[in-house]
Amino acid sequence: MHSYDYGLILAFFALVLLPAPWLGGFYYKVMEGQRTWLTPVLGPVERFCYRISGVEPEREQSWQKYTLALLSFNLAGFVLLFLILLFQDHLLLNPQNIPGMEWTQAFNTAVSFITNTNWQSYSGEASLSYFSQMAGLTVQNFVSAATGLAVLVALCRGIGRRSAQTLGNFWVDMTRATLYGLLPLCLLLALFLVWQGVPQTFAHYIDALTLQGQDQVIPLGPAASQIAIKQLGTNGGGFFGVNSAHPMENPSAWSNLFEVASLILIPAALVFTFGHYVKDLRQSRAIIACMLALFLMGGATSLWSEYQPNPTLANTAVEQTAPLEGKESRFGTTATVLWSVTTTAASNGSVNGMHDSLSPLSGMVSLINMMVGEVIFGGVGAGLYGMLLNVLIAVFLAGLMIGRTPEYLGKKLQAREVQLLVLTLMVMPVAVLLLSALAASLPGPAAAISNPGPHGFSQLLYAYTSAGANNGSAFAGFGANTAFHNLMLGLGMLIGRFGYILPVLALAGGLALKKAAPVGQNSFPTHGPLFVALLIMTILLVGGLTFLPTLALGPIAEHLSMGF
């Protein structure tokens, strides 16, 4: 590693962590309707939205009504996006005359974008019109991220409120999350990307002649606006087929730095938003410490692995050289590794290199980041409510060990809460293990694997893990665009998204009803180093017990076969 690599890592953490406390406080004020510096500008817009939609912002909802509103909104978004993709050849802004999508791929893509997964089994510039990219995908990039933020806020209110019947208003939370929480940051990032050279245009594709005398079509489009929200909204999904390895999505070292930092900017800030809701920022510091510890463990392992020479190339001219295949050659190995770790620690599928070319250990780090539920920062809202589920599980285990009724911030966890927590533990095994086992056991779907042996199994396992974790990244080489995989991966995305959201909202409703007992000397503290260590062990043990056998068949077996 060179000085540039260390500078990149330091700049990345500075861009993520320094604004996080301030931005977290801002999100708390926004979601609770308090006045901020944006209120004079966006307040009239917010009130206009309520007026034309008939929403009464002062009327709060029970957790059941909140859930019903969320499900109906997401169902409507799915239907609209599905129809746009099917009939894009009959709609506006299609200068390349791109035909409509095949229905199973349209189903997969519509599910992918409403679940904040943004898995793509197609190449954007070859398969989607400008209208589909803007009115379809970009819109869902905003509202799927806002949905995750709304669910998190509902859970925060459930933990923070006392003897309350309501969790807020879903329509108000969605409006504020989109209008104040996402739009201003996306506007700033999009303008920055345009300055760096990312296109934002409705012009036709350009026919060019290369230096070698070959004809080339250079795709254009309104890319900067979609790239900004795909990163800040932890969506992923490339405007162009090769994602952020494309020079028009990621044209410079500056764009690379700001794009990778934006992947976890909002998730890191929301940790401090939670501290404001429970009136105890020590809880935020404990959670951010756990996230950083897990991130650094995975990042260090991946960096070490990618800088090791491949032993299978011994006695060759490149035996002492770290492998560069699949890396982003413009920015170096460290930039690719930092992106691969960040994008899988977040619920974001964007990539600037080829994960299929990662070393087995680096590929395993990416898998583990997703298998633990993407709680190492995770998606907008989704990462933190997933982490809070692990916090409650750790509290429950601590209660078992000391022989006390488990409680968190003065609220006791009783049978109903524990049952809901156990239900969430089943989400990833069903979405990943069950569906990938089905795909691997059938000869037709298994033909999508392009490599033999453990690496081929890793390709399939990665695809279904990415779907179940609502991540969206992929090992290149897996032929996912078949009817079977489009439907099964779509099912995995739905399970991975709503299998968590529904129990989380039910849990929030139950906790809101409870009275809070004073935290005394005998209460287990949830803000110190001991609890951080327990939380880390809980996350790793639950993930390890669930997925270690499958990892042994894939990346672990591949690593051992290389002769290390």
pLDDT at 49 (0 to 100): 95
Contacts of 348 (CB under 8 A, 6+ apart): 118, 230, 231, 234, 235, 236, 263, 342, 379, 471, 472, 473
Q: Is 33 exposed, middle or buried (0-12, 13-18, 19+ CB in 10 A)?
A: middle
Q: How many CA atoms lie within 13 A of 48 on its CB side?
A: 6
Q: CA Rg, the chain, in Å?
A: 23
Give kind and range of the element (H or E) at residue 448.
Answer: none
Residue in this structure with the two tokens 């509202």, named with its chain if needed:
143
Measured at the alpha carbon of residue 396, what is the angle toward residues 395 and 397, in degrees to the nearest 5? 90
Q: Which residues of the chain have pLDDT under 70?
A: 312-322, 519-522, 563-564
CA distance 333 to 306: 7
Angle of helix 223-232 relative to helix 253-262, nearest 10 degrees, comes to 40
The residue type at 501: I
pLDDT at 313 (0 to 100): 65
| C-beta separation of 359 from 245 below 8 A | no
The separation between CA 9 and the C-alpha centre of its own chain, rounded to angstroms, equals: 21
pLDDT at 327 (0 to 100): 81
Give kind and range of the element (H or E) at residue 558.
Answer: helix 557-561
SS3 content of the chain, % helix, strand, coil (to 5): 65, 5, 30
Q: How many residues does the chain have?
A: 564
Could you tell me the two tokens for 358? 């990662």
CA distance 385 to 379: 9
- pLDDT tens, 439-468? 999 888 888 888 888 988 999 999 999 999
DSSP string, 116-151: T----SS-HHHH--HHIIIIIIIHHHHHHHHHHHHH
Give kind and range of the element (H or E) at residue 495.
Answer: helix 483-513
- pLDDT tens, 323-373? 777 787 888 899 999 999 999 999 888 888 888 888 899 999 999 999 998
Q: What's 552's DSSP letter?
A: I
Which among 109, 132, 104, 127 has a CA at the least distance from the CA of 119? 109
pLDDT at 521 (0 to 100): 67
Residue in this structure with the two tokens 């990345």, named with its chain if needed:
12
The residue type at 111: V
CA distance 394 to 253: 41
